[in-house]
């Protein structure tokens, strides 16, 4: 029968070494998974005395794609650990798990399970790493995170790397539960706040004799950027942009005392962008920003915190 998305599963499991298949898997809640393996064919320029093309040649193998996951406080730590490494955990039910930029990033095995087929197949991706994370808060749609993945190799298997994986529960957080702090004070007129993290991965490490797969994925400088859209009621943020004044943002999404997702950018500067007048409707202040670390107390350009009832990850 035809495979359906509703019956497909996505597993992840941390690798003990880069491109070494994981042994413990977790079934993750996802809205969509666009990770796939690609190996392009290119036309050869060989001349044979006719106008007929010769057989094409294959390029390097690429593993990449984006996963859309619901914003929550139980499954999100598994993804945050892949971005930042192990958290610093404090408290006692509820626990607060704090993630900061570290010197390294873990790699993991990702598996897409196609169980509707007459013979079940498992697309296994080794050497996966998170190359980007973005999220937009505001409005009345479903609150989701976009997680960009790159990997080293892909193969189609007849069995899973974990025959009895753990299914991770979901504790959803929603747009209407969000609050934003800007420069230490409540930002009560924000229409939309978004952030994007590029983890600075060097994805061009294809080596001779490596069968066209990435031999390594070195980590580089992290990029933190985003955008704030507010009702244009005053020039407070615009004044900061014009003056180059340092500020900060904190997004806190609270579903309950034991279910909180928080992202903090302690140090940022806004890009200058005077509001235009597109028509008769209410005007917005629309400012991009760049985050960084100079002397912020958290010693990280971005910090993610999750509060839940889980003691450790």
pLDDT by 10s per residue, the chain, length 313: 899 999 999 999 999 999 999 999 999 999 999 999 999 999 999 999 999 999 999 999 999 999 999 999 999 999 999 999 999 999 999 999 999 999 999 999 999 999 989 899 999 999 999 999 999 999 999 999 999 999 999 999 999 999 999 999 999 999 999 999 999 999 999 999 999 999 999 999 999 999 999 999 999 999 999 999 999 999 999 999 999 999 999 999 999 999 999 999 999 999 999 999 999 999 999 999 999 999 999 999 999 999 999 999 8
| Residue 179: cis peptide before it, omega within 30 degrees of 0 | no
DSSP 9-22: EEEEEE-SSTTPPP
DSSP-assigned letter for residue 6: G
Spell out the residues 6+ positions from residue 20 whose beta carbon is closer than 8 angstroms to its own: 126
pLDDT number for residue 36: 96
Task: Tell me if the pTM is above 0.85.
Answer: yes
3-state secondary structure of 5: helix
Task: Locate the domains of the chain by residue range.
Answer: 5-37+59-209+216-308
Name the phi and psi angles at 177, rounded to 5: -90, 0
């Amino acid at each position: 029968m035809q495979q359906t998305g509703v019956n497909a599963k996505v597993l992840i499991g941390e690798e003990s070494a880069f491109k070494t298949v994981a042994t413990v898997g977790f079934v993750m809640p996802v809205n969509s998974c666009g990770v796939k393996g690609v190996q392009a064919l290119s036309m050869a320029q060989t001349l044979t005395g006719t106008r007929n093309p010769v057989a094409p040649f294959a390029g390097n193998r690429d593993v990449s794609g984006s996963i859309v996951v619901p914003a929550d406080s139980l499954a999100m730590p598994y993804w945050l650990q892949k971005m930042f490494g192990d958290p610093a955990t404090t408290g006692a039910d509820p626990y607060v798990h704090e993630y900061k930029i570290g010197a390294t990033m873990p790699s993991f095995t990702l598996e897409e399970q196609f169980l509707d087929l007459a013979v079940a197949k498992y697309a296994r991706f080794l050497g996966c790493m998170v190359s980007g994370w973005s999220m937009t808060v505001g409005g009345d749609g479903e609150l989701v995170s976009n997680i960009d993945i790159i990997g080293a190799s892909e193969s189609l298997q007849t069995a899973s790397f974990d025959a009895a994986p753990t299914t991770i529960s979901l504790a959803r957080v929603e747009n209407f539960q969000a609050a934003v702090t800007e420069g230490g004070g409540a930002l009560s007129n924000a229409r939309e706040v978004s952030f994007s993290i590029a983890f600075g991965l060097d994805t061009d490490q294809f080596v001779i004799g490596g069968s066209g797969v990435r031999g390594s994925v070195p980590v580089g400088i992290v990029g933190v950027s985003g955008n704030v859209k507010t009702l244009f009621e005053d020039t407070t943020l615009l004044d900061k942009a014009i003056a180059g004044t340092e500020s900060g943002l904190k997004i806190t999404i609270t579903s309950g005392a034991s279910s909180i997702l928080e992202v903090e950018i302690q140090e940022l500067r806004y890009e200058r962008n005077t509001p235009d007048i597109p028509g008769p409707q209410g005007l917005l202040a629309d400012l991009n920003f760049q985050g960084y670390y100079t002397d912020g107390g958290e010693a990280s350009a971005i910090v993610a915190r999750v509060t839940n009832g889980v003691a450790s990850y």
